[in-house]
């Protein structure tokens, strides 16, 4: 695939470097989760993660090589494909631990809900770009965007995957507000959301209700629903200021900490590198998010602005929720830490999103190429 030389001259090395550094630290952290006092486990998760990173980088190259305006043109098609994949998951998906979220594709377990995050961003960007409103969007204009988010939200909630469903709602709300909405619409949405909270409680699965109750009092079931968050806070607290050192975290190495390589991967890092290491990682994420907002601000057209903003919101919300749940300030909802947690679908989709942001950043100088 031939890439315009002018694009390469304007390549966003800052964004690329930030992602590589965070992913590299995450790879080292996953190595630690697969390590025990007696040596390496049989299954080297860090090697699998390295494969996902390599696959994601390859797709990232494609994502920034094809003009994002062409991708933007087929946004509804991509959204439709993602919805079909969610339906396939509901009918024939692979189930484990009570959740049916994956499609087996050879040696790769595809999680369509991760793909839907990016597809929703593209679809919403397409809608708001084609239906601009100088006075702000009213309820009538927001019916289509609401349908765009509710269809995948309900399909994902059925899996069940409350965490990813919440991410879709956050992306939707952020992009609606960013695009401009009338205050009357905001009040209607707010009132409707508050009114639906008691009703939504009865649609949650028993374990989801238990997680919310545990959030308010982890000690109510310390060996059951409260075990994860209690062990996580012990791990983070025991790291102190500078941590116990690489491969020396006792909560991690003695396997007290559950879901070490996925949801609670930050707890592993905080135990080994302490408050100082945790702050460094959070600063890297902060720079990444601010740089994403800068790309959105500097984009030369509305579609680029909306796509870059949506991807930045996706990354921010996942970082905020993951760090919040492992530190006990939010309920546990099963959200991975971007570029850090083990997982193929998440890594590939995130790197594809970064490819789109690189695409937008590079093409701001040659809009009519």
Query: DSSP labels for 42-82?
Result: SS-HHHHHHHHHHHHHHHHHHHHHS-HHHHHHTHHHHHHHH
Mean pLDDT, the chain, whole residue set: 86
Confidence of residue 4 (pLDDT cuts 50, 70, 90): low
Each residue's pLDDT tens digit, 34-64: 775 444 445 588 899 999 999 999 999 999 9
Q: Compute the distance between CA of residue 64 and CA of residue 77 in angstroms, rounded to an integer.
A: 19
Indicate if the pLDDT at residue 231 is higher than 80. Answer: yes
Q: pTM of this prediction?
A: 0.91
Is residue 172 within 8 Å of residue 142, measured between CB atoms? no
Is residue 158 within 8 Å of residue 90, measured between CB atoms? yes
What average pLDDT does the segment 80-98 reach? 88
Rounded to 10 degrees, the C-alpha dihedral 281/173/349/19 comes to -30
Tell which phi-psi region holds residue 360, choosing left (phi > 0), alpha (psi between -120 and 50) or beta: alpha
Q: What is the pLDDT of residue 207?
A: 61
Q: What is the pLDDT of residue 37?
A: 41
Indicate if the pLDDT at residue 160 is higher than 60. Answer: yes
Indicate if the pLDDT at residue 271 is higher than 90. Answer: yes
What average pLDDT does the segment 164-169 reach? 93
Q: Identify any residues that bridge with 14 across adjacent strands, giving them in sequence order.
A: none
Q: Compute the distance between CA of residue 78 and CA of residue 229 in angstroms, rounded to an integer.
A: 37
Is residue 309 within 8 Å of residue 301, measured between CB atoms? no
Q: What is the pLDDT of residue 2?
A: 55
* 93 against 121, higher pLDDT: 121
Question: What percent of the chain has pLDDT above 70?
Answer: 85
Q: Which token pair is 107?
A: 């040696």
Q: Compute the distance between CA of residue 359 and CA of residue 259 in angstroms, rounded to an integer.
A: 35
Each residue's pLDDT tens digit, 95-148: 776 678 888 877 678 899 999 999 999 999 999 999 988 788 888 889 999 999
Q: Where in the chain are the domains?
A: 5-362
Q: What's the start-to-end Cα distance of the chain, in Å?
A: 16
Q: What is the pLDDT of residue 38?
A: 44
**Any residues with CB less than 8 A from the CB of 302 and at least 6 apart, and which?**
128, 129, 132
Q: Compute the distance between CA of residue 42 and CA of residue 34 in angstroms, rounded to an integer.
A: 9
Residue 192, Cβ neighbours under 10 Å: how many? 9
Question: What percent of the chain has pLDDT above 90?
Answer: 54
Q: What is the pLDDT of residue 295?
A: 96
Each residue's pLDDT tens digit, 9-29: 789 999 999 999 999 999 999
> Where does the chain show beta strands of DSSP type E?
35-36, 39-40, 94-96, 99-105, 108-110
């Amino acid at each position: 695939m031939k890439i315009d030389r002018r694009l390469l001259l304007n390549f966003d090395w800052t964004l690329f470097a930030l992602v590589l550094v965070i992913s590299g630290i995450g790879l080292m952290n996953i190595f630690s989760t697969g390590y025990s006092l007696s040596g390496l486990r049989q299954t080297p998760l860090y090697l699998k993660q390295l494969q996902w990173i390599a696959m994601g980088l390859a797709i990232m190259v494609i994502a920034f090589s094809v003009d994002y305006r062409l991708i933007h043109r087929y946004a509804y098609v991509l959204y439709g494909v993602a919805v079909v994949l969610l339906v396939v998951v509901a009918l024939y998906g692979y189930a484990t631990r009570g959740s049916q979220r994956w499609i087996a594709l050879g040696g790769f377990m595809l999680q369509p809900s991760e793909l839907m995050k990016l597809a929703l961003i593209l679809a919403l960007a397409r809608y708001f770009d084609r239906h601009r409103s100088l006075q702000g969007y009213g309820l009538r204009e927001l019916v289509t965007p609401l349908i765009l988010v509710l269809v995948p939200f309900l399909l994902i909630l059925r899996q069940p995957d409350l965490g990813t469903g919440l991410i879709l709602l956050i992306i939707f709300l952020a992009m609606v507000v960013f695009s401009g909405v009338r205050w009357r619409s905001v009040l209607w949405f707010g009132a409707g959301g508050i009114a639906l909270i008691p009703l939504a409680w009865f649609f949650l699965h028993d374990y989801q209700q238990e997680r919310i109750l545990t959030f308010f009092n982890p000690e109510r079931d310390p060996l059951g629903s409260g075990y994860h968050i209690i062990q996580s806070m012990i791990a983070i607290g025991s790291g102190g200021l500078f941590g116990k050192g690489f491969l020396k975290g006792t909560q991690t190495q003695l396997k007290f900490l559950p879901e070490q390589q996925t949801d609670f991967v930050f707890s592993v890092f905080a135990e080994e590198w302490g408050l100082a290491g945790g702050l460094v990682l959070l600063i890297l994420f902060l720079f990444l998010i601010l740089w994403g907002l800068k790309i959105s601000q500097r984009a030369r057209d509305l579609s680029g602005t909306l796509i870059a903003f949506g991807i930045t919101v996706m990354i921010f919300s996942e970082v905020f929720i993951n760090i919040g749940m492992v530190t006990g300030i939010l309920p546990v909802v099963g959200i991975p830490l971007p570029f850090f947690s083990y997982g193929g679908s998440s890594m590939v989709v995130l790197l594809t999103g970064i490819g789109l942001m690189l695409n937008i950043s590079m093409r701001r100088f040659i809009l009519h190429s």
